[in-house]
Amino acid sequence: MPMTTKDSDALVKEAQQLLAKKLQGDARRRFLRQGLTLGGVALLTGCDLSSNPNVENVLNRVSALNDRVQHWLFSDRRLAPEYSAAQIDPDFPFNAFYGEEDIPLIDGADYRLAVAGLVQNTRPWQLAELHRLPQEHQITRHICVEGWSAIGQWGGVPFGVFLKHIGADLSAKYVKFTCADDYYTSIDMSTALHPQTLLTLSWNRQVLPPKYGYPMKLRIPTKLGYKNPKHIQVIEVTNRFPGGYWEDQGYNWFGGS
Ligand SMILES: Nc1nc2c(c(=O)[nH]1)N[C@H]1C(S)=C(S)[C@@H](COP(=O)(O)O)O[C@H]1N2
Ligand SMILES: [Mo]
Measured in angstroms, how far is the CA atom of residue 177 from the centroid of ligand 2?
16
Ligand 1 proximity of 151 Cβ (cutoff 6 Å): no
In this prediction, residue 116 carries a pLDDT of 98
Residue 155 backbone phi and psi in degrees, to 5 = -130, 150
CA 113, 119, 123, 126: dihedral to nearest 10 degrees?
-30
Q: Give the pLDDT of residue 227.
A: 96
pLDDT at position 67 is 45
* Residues 184/245, Cβ–Cβ less than 8 Å: yes
Ligand nearest to the CA of 211: 1
Each residue of 91-138: pLDDT tens digit?
Answer: 999 999 999 999 999 999 999 999 999 999 999 999 999 999 999 999
Confidence at residue 207, expressed as pLDDT on a 0 to 100 scale: 98
pTM: 0.75
Which residue ranges does the chain devote to CATH 3.90.420.10? 85-249
CA of 66 to the centre of ligand 1 (A): 35
> Can you give the pLDDT at residue 86?
97
Amino acid letter for position 215: P
Q: Which string of DSSP letters, residue by residue, matches 121-134?
A: ----EEHHHHHTS-
Pocket of ligand 1 contains residue 210 by CB under 6 Å: no
Name residue 255's amino acid: G
Q: Measuring from atom 4 of ligand 1, which residue has the nearest CA?
A: 229
pLDDT of residue 13: 73
Atom 9 of ligand 1: nearest residue by CA position = 96
* 148 C-alpha to ligand 2 centroid (Å): 8
Residues in the chain predicted with pLDDT less than 50, given as ranges, are 1-3, 52, 66-67, 70, 74, 76
Could you tell which of 228, 231, 251 is best to mutate to test the pocket of ligand 1, judged by most ligand atoms within 8 Å of the CB?
228
Is 85-249 a domain of CATH 3.10.50.40? no
- CB 148 less than 6 A from any atom of ligand 1: no
Ligand 1 close to Cβ of residue 247 (< 6 A): no
Evaluate: CB of 181 within 6 angstroms of ligand 1: yes
Beta strand residue intervals within 167-212, DSSP E: 174-179, 184-188, 198-203, 206-207
Determine the distance separating the centroid of ligand 2 and the alpha carbon of 166, expressed in angstroms: 29
For 157-183, how does the pLDDT look when each residue is reduced to its tens digit (9 = 90+)?
A: 999 999 999 999 999 999 999 999 999
Q: pLDDT at position 60, please? A: 59
**Atom in ligand 1 nearest the alpha carbon of residue 212:** 20
Q: What pLDDT score was predicted for residue 2? A: 47
Q: Pseudo-torsion of CA 39, 41, 46, 52, nearest 10°?
A: -80
Task: Give the distance (Å) from ligand 2 centre to CA of residue 136.
Answer: 24
Distance CA 218, CA 200 (A): 5
Ligand 1 within 6 A of CB of 226: yes
Alpha carbon of 227 to ligand 1 centroid (Å): 8
